[in-house]
């Protein structure tokens, strides 16, 4: 995936704590100014500060963190996130499970409802030694998993997904009949490991109080469901909740055994718009070059279009709409329009822009609306850690 | 990139005409029903019909086609598009130029305004034998290219970008002063090969008449600019225009020497919404599995979220809003919401849906809003050609 760079010299001493395997990152000695644009940049110091903040929040609650690795899809970023925790992680694809298992992660929760066509892949990972747990929210899926596990002679761990805020999938927390029906079907072949929810509704709830209310929906819904299952005679050791907003703003996690959260590692403009972080906390950006001017319209044309930024418009409904991204260091310059390999940058209020300040070739850094979506458009991070004259490359992967 | 498949046996005879290099596609003998979802499907027969339709339109005008390869990013698809034409192609990244040059394409137009940091890459491709032409729309960029070319002892071919419909970049067609200033700066080091435009405004102009009007803006603007340059003493052999809508609906291409167009190879819901194609012409889709039901809300939960579909909402402003994609064969079922690995499918009018018709594991095919964006989320095509029991894999690439 990484072309045009030598694999090479040893890591800088300061990176040793976040990249255990010194052979993985590629030190390029390339300068930021020489990078071919568009390219994805990662500020490692900001990433470490974001990780430290989440770790501190979990320490206050005394609850384990099971980081979600879908944002970074990077072994180096994952190692930084897992430091100090027992080692359980969350993934959104079996490709992530493959990659992170190969990198030494064993306790992996695949947090998307299982489809039957993925069970052979699950079995292969399990046989290779992964402790891979699945989620589901229906009797039909429970029967499919249990029947497959029996036929294969495996015991597959499963969590029941709970719909704590009615935003997507899961069993209603008080639907005891459905919860126990699923648990019964799992008994012969699978292992009911617990319940889980994702309070994704918190992404529509700006401000500490509204986010905290969503966190309490997550907590109370999963704890009630777990208690109902236990009352019906099912062991339900794990109560798993999480989203980046609720993880940081939860006021009480009584009864919760672990928190899953992912985007905190990089943060983004959606999180900033919700009040979850500051714009200055955002650890990734897309390096773009000015390739043209349209003086009459006050436009800078850049070479970072939606292929580099993603089509995510997650701030569209926020108080501050950041277009397709905000130009770092310029509070009112946003990407107002994006084609495949073109981004149009202009003043957010339509005010005239002095284009002579941005000659052809000027390097801009575009902050992402949604870190998961923007990072997904790239196959590597150019890591700034120790200055702009010694970039490292961290590979990242995509696909299924 | 392609893991878990053997490279292998020879191609089916019927594919020989579109895949010249028998070693490139990978025949898997996998059945559609066994595919792990989400996955990108390509109906090769529909692709060939789309290509034949565009070729016929070009033949009517007697104008050369220079296919844009940014939609497919696939050597096999490119070979199908180029058949019968002299061999010139268009790309949107230098990575595409690298990949297609390696596959035997030599005459390549890089159709995004050149940034100075890409010039060493351009020089490397040129020295290896590529006839790689660049575009630009400013004196500053012309000076940068000419100075670089002189310093490197190269002659770099350049087209001046014309802004025929004020939608993005380019010189106004009648700004003779700027056109000749750019041409003068290019003279010492570069080669002025011609003028080009992309009538992207046609994407906002539904219906044959409005699209034809945009095609005439493309034609008349570039021809006027070329004539002004010729009158000023500059050779300007190439007059290059194009977009899929304008290419198919142009009524007159007098003075145009070549047409560039890309998305026609697959077509998509945006094109269907503009009246450029029928929904049934769309050659790619995303295979998705039903992973859950929310009966109260009439929702099917699938495992194709925005990671598989893209975040493109290109039909949002159309008469028919297709959400994040339309379920093939179900005119009123659309993806109403998409998270990273979840898509929520529901009736477009909010009518109740009989979820029992779609049990867990049901395979749906989601048609894309924007083929370029959806395909970009995948690293391979699963090609249906000769039935659902003998899929082929065509690799595709991304990045820069």
A344: distance to nearest CA of chain B, Å? 8
Return the structure tokens found at B339: 């998270």
What string of DSSP letters covers A179-219?
Answer: HHHHHHHHTTTEEEEEEE---GGGGG--SHHHHHHHHHHHH
Do the chains contact at A379 and B372, CB–CB below 8 Å? no
pLDDT at position A348: 97
* Residue in A161, A289, A373 nearest the CB of B311: A373
Q: Which fold has domain A13-44+273-395?
A: Lyase, Ornithine Decarboxylase; Chain A, domain 1 (2.40.37)
Contact A376, B306 (CB under 8 A): no
Residue of B nearest to A4 (CA): B121
Q: How many CB pairs under 8 A join A and B?
A: 170
Count of other CB atoms within 10 angstroms of residue B399: 19
Q: What is the pLDDT of residues B10-66, one digit of tens each?
A: 323 323 333 334 345 777 678 999 899 999 999 999 999 999 999 999 999 999 999
Do the chains contact at A37 and B115, CB–CB below 8 Å? yes
Q: Which residues of B touch A101 (CB under 8 A)?
A: none
Torsion A103-A108-A111-A116 (CA) sign = positive
Q: Which helix (H) or strand (E) holds A390?
A: none
Strands B107-110 and A299-302: unpaired
Separation between Cα atoms, residue A195 and residue A163, nearest integer Å: 10
Question: Could you tell me where the beta strands, DSSP code E, fall in A10-63?
Answer: 26-30, 39-43
The class of domain B46-265 in CATH terms is alpha beta
Residue of A nearest to B289 (CA): A115
* Strand ordering across the sheet containing B131-136: B64-65, B258-259, B238-241, B190-196, B156-161, B131-136, B107-110, B89-91
Do the chains contact at A400 and B38, CB–CB below 8 Å? yes
Angle at B366 between CA B365 and CA B368, to 5 degrees: 140
pTM of the predicted model, to two decimals? 0.93
A150: distance to nearest CA of chain B, Å? 19
Q: Which residues of A touch B38 (CB under 8 A)?
A: 400
- Residue A83 gets which letter from DSSP? T
Do the chains contact at A169 and B291, CB–CB below 8 Å? yes
Q: Which residues of B touch A377 (CB under 8 A)?
A: 376, 398
Residue of A nearest to B135 (CA): A291
Mean pLDDT of B223-247: 97
* Residue keyed to tokens 């350049």: B158
Angle at A276 between CA A274 and CA A280, to 5 degrees: 105
Q: What is the pLDDT of residues B170-198, one digit of tens each?
A: 999 999 999 999 999 999 899 999 999 99
Do the chains contact at A141 and B291, CB–CB below 8 Å? yes
pLDDT at position A24: 59
Do the chains contact at A360 and B144, CB–CB below 8 Å? yes
CATH code matching the domain that covers A45-266, chosen among 3.30.300.30, 3.40.50.300, 3.20.20.10, 3.40.190.10: 3.20.20.10
Count of other CB atoms within 10 angstroms of residue B108: 24
Do the chains contact at A36 and B200, CB–CB below 8 Å? no
pLDDT at position A17: 33
Strand, coil or helix: A223:
helix
Q: Which residues of A touch B118 (CB under 8 A)?
A: 36-37
Separation between Cα atoms, residue A307 and residue A341, nearest integer Å: 6
Q: Which residues of B touch A38 (CB under 8 A)?
A: 400
B31: distance to nearest CA of chain A, Å? 12
Q: Which residues of B touch A112 (CB under 8 A)?
A: 291, 303, 341-342
pLDDT at position B204: 87
Q: Is the pLDDT of residue B93 over 70?
A: yes
Mean pLDDT of B230-241: 98
* Residue keyed to tokens 């994609």: B325
pLDDT at position A53: 98
* Residue in A92, A121, A168 nearest the CB of B36: A121
What is the 3-state composition of chain B as percent helix, strand, coil, each rounded to the nearest 5? 35, 25, 40
Phi-psi category of residue A5: left, alpha or beta, with phi > 0 → left and psi -120 to 50 → alpha = beta
User: How does pLDDT run along chain A (400 residues), one tens digit per residue?
Assistant: 333 222 323 323 223 333 334 345 776 678 998 899 999 999 999 999 999 999 999 999 999 999 999 999 999 999 999 987 767 999 999 999 999 999 999 999 999 999 999 999 999 999 999 999 999 999 999 999 999 999 999 999 999 999 999 888 999 999 999 999 999 999 989 999 999 999 888 888 889 999 999 999 999 999 999 999 999 999 999 999 999 999 999 999 999 999 999 999 999 999 999 999 999 999 999 999 999 999 999 999 999 999 999 999 999 999 999 999 999 999 999 999 999 999 999 999 999 999 999 999 999 999 999 999 999 999 999 999 877 888 999 999 999 9
pLDDT at position A224: 98
Q: What is the pLDDT of residues B211-221, one digit of tens each?
A: 999 999 999 99
Q: Residue A17: exposed, middle, or buried by beta-carbon count in 10 A (0-12, 13-18, 19+)?
A: exposed
Domain positions in chain B = 13-44+274-395, 46-265
Q: Residue A13: exposed, middle, or buried by beta-carbon count in 10 A (0-12, 13-18, 19+)?
A: exposed
* Residue in B337, B359, B400 nearest the CB of A140: B359
CATH code matching the domain that covers B13-44+274-395, chosen among 2.40.37.20, 3.40.50.150, 2.60.40.10, 3.30.70.100: 2.40.37.20
The ipTM estimated for the assembled molecules is 0.93
Confidence of residue B205 (pLDDT cuts 50, 70, 90): confident
pLDDT at position A303: 98
Residue of A nearest to B112 (CA): A341
Q: Which residues of A touch B344 (CB under 8 A)?
A: 168
Mutate which of A346, A360, A374 to disrupt the B interface (most B C-beta within 10 Å)? A360
Residue of B nearest to A33 (CA): B117
What string of DSSP letters covers A259-318?
Answer: EEE-GGGT--HHHHHHTSS-GGG--EEEEEEEEEEEGGGTEEEES--HHHH-S--TTTTS
Q: What is the pLDDT of residues B293-302, one digit of tens each?
A: 999 999 999 9
Contact A98, A71 (CB under 8 A): no
Do the chains contact at A342 and B373, CB–CB below 8 Å? no
Q: Which residues of B touch A39 (CB under 8 A)?
A: 400
* Residue in A93, A116, A311 nearest the CB of B373: A311
- Residue B88 gets which letter from DSSP? -
* Residue in B141, B161, B376 nearest the CB of A360: B141
pLDDT at position B347: 97
Count of other CB atoms within 10 angstroms of residue B42: 28
Residue of A nearest to B359 (CA): A140
Q: Which residues of B touch A140 (CB under 8 A)?
A: 359-360
Residue of A nearest to B379 (CA): A399
């Amino acid at each position: 995936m990484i072309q045009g760079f030598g694999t090479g010299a040893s890591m800088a001493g300061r990176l040793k704590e976040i990249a255990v395997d010194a052979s993985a990152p590629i030190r390029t000695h390339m300068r930021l100014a020489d990078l071919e644009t568009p390219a994805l940049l990662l500020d490692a110091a900001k990433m470490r500060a974001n990780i430290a903040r989440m770790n501190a929040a979990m320490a206050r609650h005394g609850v384990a963190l099971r980081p979600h690795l879908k944002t970074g899809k990077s072994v180096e970023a994952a190692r930084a996130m897992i430091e100090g925790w027992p080692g359980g992680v969350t993934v959104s694809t079996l490709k992530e499970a493959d990659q992170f298992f190969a990198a030494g992660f064993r306790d992996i929760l695949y947090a998307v409802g299982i489809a039957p066509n993925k069970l052979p892949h699950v079995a292969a990972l399990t046989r290779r030694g992964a402790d891979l747990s699945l989620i589901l929210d229906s009797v039909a899926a429970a029967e499919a998993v249990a029947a497959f596990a029996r036929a294969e002679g495996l015991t597959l761990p499963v969590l029941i997904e709970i719909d704590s805020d009615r935003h997507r999938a899961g069993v209603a927390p008080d639907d005891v009949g459905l919860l126990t029906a699923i648990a019964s079907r799992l008994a012969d072949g699978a292992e009911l490991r617990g319940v889980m929810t994702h309070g994704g509704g918190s992404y529509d709830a700006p401000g500490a109080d509204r986010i905290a209310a969503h966190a309490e929906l997550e907590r109370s819904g999963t704890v009630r469901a777990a208690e109902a299952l236990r009352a019906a005679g099912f062991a339900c050791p794990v109560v798993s909740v999480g989203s980046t907003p609720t993880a940081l703003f939860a006021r009480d996690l009584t009864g919760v055994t672990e928190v899953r959260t992912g985007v905190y590692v990089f943060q983004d403009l959606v999180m900033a718009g919700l009040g979850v972080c500051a714009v200055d906390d955002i650890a990734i950006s897309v390096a773009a070059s000015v390739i043209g001017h349209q003086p009459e319209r006050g436009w800078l044309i850049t070479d970072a279009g939606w292929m580099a930024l993603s089509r995510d418009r997650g701030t569209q409904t926020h108080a501050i709409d950041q277009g397709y991204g905000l130009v770092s260091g310029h509070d009112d310059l946003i990407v107002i329009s994006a084609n495949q390999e073109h981004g149009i940058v202009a003043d957010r209020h339509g005010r005239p822009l002095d284009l002579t300040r941005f000659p052809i070739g000027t390097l801009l850094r575009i902050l992402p609306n949604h870190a998961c979506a923007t990072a997904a458009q790239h196959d590597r991070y150019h890591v700034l850690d120790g200055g702009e004259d010694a970039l490292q490359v961290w590979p990242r992967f995509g696909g299924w």
